[in-house]
Chains A and B, each alone.
Chain A
Amino acid sequence: MTRRLFLTAVPVKAVMDKKVLIAMSGGVDSSVAAFLTRQAGYDCIGVTMKLFQNEDIGVSKVKTCCSLDDVEDARSVARHLGIPYYVFNFSRDFKVQVIDRFVAAYESGTTPNPCIDCNRYLKFGCLFQRAKALGFETIATGHYARIEMRSGRYILKKALDKSKDQSYVLYMLTQEQLAQIRFPLGELSKSEVRSIAETQGFCNSEKPDSQDICFIPDGDYAAFLEQYTGKPYQTGDVLDLFGQVIGHHRGAVQYTTGQRKGLGLALNKPVYVCRKDMTANTVTVGPEQALYSQELWADDVNWIAIDHLSAPMRVYAKIRYRQTEQPSTVYPDESGKIRLLFDKPQRAITAGQAVVLYDGDTVVGGGMIC
């Protein structure tokens, strides 16, 4: 009567390449990904990662990702598909790998992208580790991106539906990880996905797409930082480009490069945050032209389409999630960092954000702007 879901025998190495663990958030995309994986004949289980409790992030009864409702939605879809379903508690890892990094980045003056850290350390880190322990060699997710094999390397490509493409937040996937990931939605449009969900009668087929940062549902990251760290951020000086004090701010962490609104300055011309000095607790503002620059450096570099960069290469680079790629040239550096020279100056290149390099639809690699 025993279900043999995981390993035929511990510790014999698992050899079942047909077993897939589906990461289910309770949303439409991962539900349809689960359906497609099941339909393709794989032996699967659905898993929701429980990442935090609302009380821990200072909100109560607000709809957030990974809430109990989402867990019940995912469970309902899994039951509908006839696949076993589990909830894994990764709250400790999420706190250390995502929230603490997020806070540390802001406190050091950069602007983090927690979704990238979550993919890197949680979905394709902790969850991978757990899947392996349970004898699953493959993970499927509802990301919009494609993985292909080209001359011995796994290649990450944009989704066919360019409006939903999520390859930007996946640039840090390694060859080992790519070999074990399936993105069943890579060739579908969002409307096709919704229509599959409706046809299947999934309870969440009309659920809106998730927005913003899941652990900051109201988008007020400054309030989150204060609540989470328990320290009120000190007021400080706002400087102009010449270092003259022209006003005061309510804590430098609250401002991000390129920001115009909420500066509380009464000037006769619009000014934008150009840079921050966290040690001196100053925010420097200037006219929009001052935001533009043609060059950036990035570290924590990951290559996908190539093994490494040995010579300058023409690429199209994206410096934030919602941006059209910009033509540029990437230069290798002995330090392991990369230098990127854009053909045209770019507005508000922001430290802490990812720069992802494309060659057409293919992700060449990427790094973190420093």
Chain B
Amino acid sequence: MIYADNAATTKMSGAAINAITACMQDTWGNPSSLYSLGQRAKETLEDARERIAACIGASPKEITFTSGGSEADNQAIRSAALLGARKGKRHIISTAFEHHAVLHTLKGLEGEGFEVELLPVGALGTVTAQQVSEAIREDTALVTIMYANNEIGSVLPVSEIGAVCRERRVIFHTDAVQAAGHLPIDVMAQNIDLLSLSAHKFHGPKGVGALYARQGVPLTNLIEGGAQERGKRAGTENVPAIVGMAAALEESCSHMAENAAKVSALRDKLIAGLSRIPHSALNGDPVNRLPGNVNFCFEGIEGESLLLLLDDRGICVSSGSACTSGSLDPSHVLLSIGRPHEVAHGSLRLSLCEENTETDVDAILKAVPEIVNYLRNMSPLWKDKVSGKRAFVL
């Protein structure tokens, strides 16, 4: 099997599995308990918090553990919105291609009287600090812009945006789910006030994430109950998962440069190879790009078919149009960069990690063109295009 869907989830690292197993066996107490078994669990928890904070340049008490990236996004945005509303600020700036955890939370806030401004992301799929600066108003409560896009891999100018927001005294949240463990993050230097991350995107376990909130930015609870996480997130902490997250993040961060070099070389080979397929186009910023992300549109095919036929050859990928849960949109991300519906349906996302090899890339570069060709030859639409009855889009 070739796993090339690391933006969806990653395989847990040995370090994470060992840390989790050890925690389950030895420090399984409740961190809120007074006796020493509980105290040991608490120490383990706080040790993990310190290590995670260190990976992103934060201090430990600025880290709140959550059930994952979505919860962190929800809590960050709701907290900043409430804070703004208390001062009469009800304007929120974001982008058109955020993750649904952000977009749907913003939609909810719109229903509650907030005004949400989604910045266009252009053909490359990015925004500039100047766009943000021009959008900021007196009543802007929050700027929430992702660190890197999960589908098309664009890396956004977060440091510049952070500087603008700090200068204009607007809270800045970034959904760093795709960036954490893959790109350097320093919340202090980058002027980030709120940041979300998710463990399973960097070889940690699923169902656990963290929200960084700069000291002085008070969080509002989504989940009420006990006083865990300084009263900001009730419920007994998932200590083993948190410990696994810490181990995974530390490992990813300590090998970040060498992993990025290796993975981006594989990525560039894939991009070069797939670009040779006629009537195809790379999606996303070719330069400021996540090391492992490759995203293409192939005209005249349906992404779902391509995905299933690649699965049949043991290659795991994803497609912006694949309908697994609820969404039928042909990917709001691809539409946001101006791909027409027809083309957006024929998208393919490959996301690599440091475990992928040249052999994997060669196999993908053999399989994808063959299958695209096969599907095109079966498509009446494609025949119309070849015969000139319909125009090519790409």
Interface set of A (CB-CB < 8 Å, partner B) = 1-7, 10-11, 50, 52-53, 56, 68, 86-89, 91-92, 129-130, 132-134
Contact = CB atoms under 8 A, between A and B. Distances in A.
Contacts of A56: 328
A130 B302 contact: yes
B299 to A, nearest CB: 15
Contact of A89 (B321, B373, B378, B379): B321
Nearest to A6: B312
Given A1-B314, A2-B314, A11 B308 contact: no
A133 B323 contact: no
B326 A68 contact: yes
B374 A50 contact: no
Contacts of A87: 323-324
Given A10-B371, A11-B370, A53-B327, 13 more contacts: A2-B1, A2-B312, A4-B312, A6-B308, A7-B309, A11-B377, A50-B328, A52-B328, A86-B304, A88-B304, A133-B305, A133-B378, A134-B305
A62 to B, nearest CB: 15
A86 B326 contact: no
Interface string B63-88: 00000000000000000000000000
Contact of A10 (B314, B321, B322, B370): B370
A11 B322 contact: no
Contacts of B373: 11
A133 B324 contact: no
B330 interface: yes
A92 B330 contact: yes
B168 interface: no
Contacts of A132: 378
A86 B308 contact: yes
B345 interface: yes
A6 B309 contact: yes
Contacts of A10: 309, 370-371, 374
Contact of A53 (B305, B326, B377): B326
A91 B327 CA distance: 10
Given A10-B370, A11-B373, A130-B305, A2 B325 contact: no
A130 B374 CA distance: 12
B375 to A, nearest CB: 6
B378 A129 contact: yes
A347 B388 CA distance: 48
Interface string B296-334: 000000101100110111100000011111111010000
A132 B309 CA distance: 12
Contacts of A92: 330, 341, 345
B293 to A, nearest CB: 22
Given A134-B308, A134-B309, A89 B322 contact: yes
Nearest to B378: A133
Interface in B323-367: 323-328, 330, 341, 345
Interface string B106-137: 00000000000000000000000000000000
Contact of B304 (A7, A11, A68, A89): A89
B323 A89 contact: yes
A7 B325 CA distance: 25
B297 to A, nearest CB: 15
Interface string B1-27: 100000000000000000000000000
Nearest to A94: B328
9 contacts: A2-B314, A7-B312, A11-B377, A68-B325, A68-B326, A87-B324, A89-B304, A89-B345, A133-B378
Contacts of A7: 309, 312
B354 to A, nearest CB: 22
A68 B313 CA distance: 29
Contacts of B322: 89
Interface in B214-269: none
A5 B312 contact: yes
Given A10-B374, A133-B375, A89 B326 contact: no
Contact of A50 (B312, B314, B323): B323
A129 B373 CA distance: 16
B326 A1 contact: no
Contacts of B326: 53, 68
Contacts of B311: 3, 5
- 6 smallest CB-CB distances across A and B, nearest first, come from A89-B323, A2-B314, A11-B374, A91-B328, A6-B312, A10-B374
A4 B374 CA distance: 17
Contacts of B380: 129
Nearest to A72: B325
A283 B327 CA distance: 41
A210 B314 CA distance: 38
A324 to B, nearest CB: 39
B307 to A, nearest CB: 10
A11 to B, nearest CB: 4
A87 to B, nearest CB: 5
